[in-house]
Structure 1
């Protein structure tokens, strides 16, 4: 399979998504938005699109992030939807996927930064690819927004701070507000980007923000294994075309 990543920032790395693609021998390509790399003209030749996170929103006015064009990304995701290739949107990518489907992203009830449990819904517990997470799973979080919903969207997992953590838009298209891809490298990059002092200040006033020390103390390997299992199930163990 050819897996194409859309990467928005140097500090929002694909982590375990990339490791899975490498371990499974898939071909890998990427659009580095922060380097003003243009999106491909077509989704032809792409089997799996993974859209990663970033501090932007799907309605960014481009003043703060002149290299980021949400309308172009949404249009590209819509091409991928029409082609019925595999799609996973992560954090910002989840929100963009929801907008591409006609939903409207919203602010999450709580800002979440840290490791907190997801709870699978009844639909999640019977979803072919997500049910392996179990009733609850500790996962990474770093967000203030969440994906929108459509009439056919199915919420598969929630958290105490956010009611839309995993959403299925179609059998091949999943939105993950949660970050199952986190590892210590990803955490260090995010802490550096946000600032240790800023995180400590947020921790004092927000219910679901952990300290840099807490963030570095977590073992991310279990959520990474669960992500690998989800991706294997979703793609049915396919390798190259």
Structure 2
């Protein structure tokens, strides 16, 4: 499988997503846009596009952040969807996926920073790609916004602070507002990059302190994510619709 990553910042690394792709010996390529890499010019050489997070929003302009071209990324995402490619958007990537398909991102009811439970909806429990997931499981979080819903989008999981944690936008296209890829190195990089943000959010209901963030164990959620990705890859190879995508809003 040919997996292409769009990475917006060094401290928003792919983590468990990249470990999965390398462990399964997939062909892996990157657009590290913060380092000046270009986006792919076409989708023919991509089977799975993974768009990572970042401090930007879909509304961020190139004047505000010269290395981030939201419109170009959304055109690539839409082209992948049109071509039947698998797409996973993570945090900012999930919001870009929703916007690429015609729905604006939304403000999350609560900011979430740390490890907190995510709960599958009825549709999520029935979806074959989430087979083996507990009904409720811990996941990493670091966000203020969340992806919007297209008319045929299906909410597969939510949390107490954010109702749109995992959204299916098609048989092979998924937005993950939550960060199941987190590991110790990524969290340290985020803490270092967000001292002012963490200070401003201190005391909020779903915001952990740096000390708490450093003590979270990410191994179980990484394994769950890899199981999802295995099933997504198998679904792409099978090239057939999956069940469990009836609308739930």
TM-score, scaled relative to structure 1: 0.95
**1:25-69 alpha-carbon deviations (Å, 9 max, x no partner):** 011101111122211110111111000000111111233311111
**1:51-88 alpha-carbon deviations (Å, 9 max, x no partner):** 00001111112333111110000001111111111110
Structure 1 partner of 2:198: 199
1:32-47 maps to which residues of 2 (within 5 A)?
Answer: 32-47=32-47
Which is further off, 217-226 or 28-37? Answer: 28-37
Unaligned runs of 5+ in 1: none
Q: Is the 8 A contact 1:94 1:176 kept in 2?
A: yes
Which is further off, 108-117 or 131-140? Answer: 131-140
1:62-211 maps to which residues of 2 (within 5 A)?
Answer: 62-195=62-195, 198-204=197-203, 206-211=204-209
Unaligned runs of 5+ in 2: 238-249
1:41-56 maps to which residues of 2 (within 5 A)?
Answer: 41-56=41-56
Structure 1 partner of 2:227: 229
Q: Is the 8 A contact 1:115 1:215 kept in 2?
A: yes
Which is further off, 121-130 or 58-67? Answer: 58-67
Q: Is the 8 A contact 2:172 2:236 kept in 1?
A: no
Q: Is the 8 A contact 1:132 1:230 kept in 2?
A: no
Structure 2 partner of 1:57: 57
Using the alignment, how far apart are the partners of 1:22 and 1:136 within structure 2? 28
TM-score, scaled relative to structure 2: 0.92
1:169 to 1:191, Cα distance in 2 relative to 1, 3 A: same
Using the alignment, how far apart are the partners of 1:201 and 1:35 within structure 2? 29
Using the alignment, how far apart are the partners of 1:198 and 1:37 within structure 2? 28
Cα root mean square deviation, aligned: 1.4
Give the total of aligned pairs. 237
Using the alignment, how far apart are the partners of 1:237 and 1:20 within structure 2? 16
